[in-house]
Amino acid sequence: MTNGHTPPKGVQEVGQRAVRWIEDGKAGQGFTDTGDHRAHQLANGEALSDEEVKKMKAYFKRHSVDKDAEGFTHGSDGFPSPGRVAWDAWGGDEGERWVGTIDV
């Protein structure tokens, strides 16, 4: 099934928050165009292809260690850290749960 994975409302809201943070300059120097594009896709509720879902799964697998960094958790110093902005740009915890339910 191509272009058939529409992000649920919670994932869209996380994407919208990430877009606001990106626009506020909180994404940091290493933030990629890919992350920016993904944040906008999710924020706009665009359907994702199987390939994009696979990339999201790979992102979460690679970057779950970022959750231990300073500034990742609401209320901690430096929140939102660039790592947190990037995590949310890819859908955040809601996105990780969502793509975990998709067989690709």
Structure tokens at 18: 């990430």
Asked if the structure places residue 95 within a domain, the reply is yes
In this structure, what DSSP letter does residue 103 have? -
Statement: the pTM of the whole predicted model exceeds 0.95 = no
Strand, coil or helix: 3: coil
* DSSP-assigned states of every residue in 38-76: HHHHHHTT--B-HHHHHHHHHHHHHHGGGGGSTT-STTS
* pLDDT greater than 70 at residue 2: no
* pLDDT greater than 80 at residue 1: no
Asked if the structure places residue 60 within a domain, the reply is yes
Residue of 92, 24, 14 lying closest to 59 (CA atoms): 92
Domain range for 47 is 9-100
Domain count for the chain: 1
Asked if the structure places residue 28 within a domain, the reply is yes
